[in-house]
Copies of this chain bind each other. A is one copy, B any other.
Amino acid sequence: MPSPSLMDFQQTLQPAIETALKASFEVHNFSHSPTLKDMLVYHMGWAKNEKTGGHGKRIRPLITLLCTGACDAPIENALPAATAIEFLHNFTLIHDDIEDKSPHRHGRPTLWTQWGIAQAINAGDALFGIAQLTMLDLVKTTDEVIANQAIRRLNQVCLQLTQGQHLDIAFESEQKVDTQAYLTMIAGKTGALIALSATMGGLVAYQSQDHLALLAEFGESLGLAFQIQDDILGIWGDSKTIGKSTASDILTHKKTLPILFGLQHCPEFQKAWQKQDVSHKQVERMSVILSSCGAQAYTRSQVNIYTKKAIDALEHLFSHKNAYAQALFDLTEKLLNRDF
């Protein structure tokens, strides 16, 4: 019988993750405030009404479970950590959507548009508490010391996330943001949480500090490569496959890596960027200008640098690959060759 592939793992683990998420959520008593529970159920994509359902791919808990398996430990021991990270991620989404005034996520209205800003801030706080309580369930599958280390890492990452988000909000109103500052921002905002996902997988498998550091490096590099690849798709992606209009990051004036490169190195792009309300035709011209001044090549080179770092860390960690480790290699390749 062949070893299970990445796709096999996705098919078996994603329903298990969803079941564990729901079970961890249901232990909490909301009898005095059922509407608060409804809000969180809606945000998590569990509302009965099909129109209001739908959620993300739960990629972070999948990474945690695969990392535990790759370290030859029982993956079920990692479920509290995997689900805690998904709750933490969703807490940040609730608050980010308010902070960025985003009206939609996963094809449906964001929480704050449905219940107001005040109740949505508060619901995010509740989910943050649930993330912490879920992580503490590690005492059942590991021990007190591991559970405390896990909670410590979760909250250190929370500080990194808020620092990344602080910079992201600040950049919106800044005229000049250099590419290095941008990389610092996404390291906090995206890299830190995927680093946590990988590290937790190793922590519950009682890995050495060296191995945990390599897992963190794998996760952070993967997160950065993924985010920068997203920036490429936001300008040169195919609108049919990525599900948003091509060059939408130029239209929405979002300061992503290729755009910041263009603003730093390309006077023609800089001039075009000043204009308000550009037409679709102008947007297309601007994406061509960006390409010809080397912004696409630069951004691709950054994706390659971080992908290589992620793969190198995996090579160091797992010279003898089991099926879980192979799936981590495949996941890394797959995420970075996506055109969706």
Contacts and interface: CB of A to CB of B under 8 A. Distances in A.
A152 B128 contact: no
A144 B167 CA distance: 35
Given A99-B121, A121-B98, A151-B132, A126 B162 contact: yes
A225 interface: no
Interface size class on chain A is 35 or more
A139 B148 CA distance: 9
A119 B166 contact: yes
Given A117-B117, A121-B98, A129-B159, A152 B170 contact: no
A169 interface: yes
B99 A163 contact: no
Interface stretch (A28-36, A48-56, A75-83, A301-309): A28-36
A1 interface: no
Nearest to A165: B122
27 contacts: A33-B163, A33-B167, A33-B170, A95-B121, A99-B119, A99-B121, A99-B122, A100-B118, A119-B169, A119-B170, A121-B121, A122-B162, A125-B161, A125-B162, A126-B158, A126-B163, A126-B166, A128-B128, A128-B158, A129-B158, A129-B159, A132-B151, A132-B155, A133-B159, A144-B144, A144-B145, A144-B148
Interface of A: 28, 30, 32-33, 35-36, 95, 98-100, 117-119, 121-123, 125-126, 128-130, 132-133, 136, 139, 144-145, 147-148, 151-152, 154-156, 158-159, 161-163, 165-167, 169-170, 184, 188
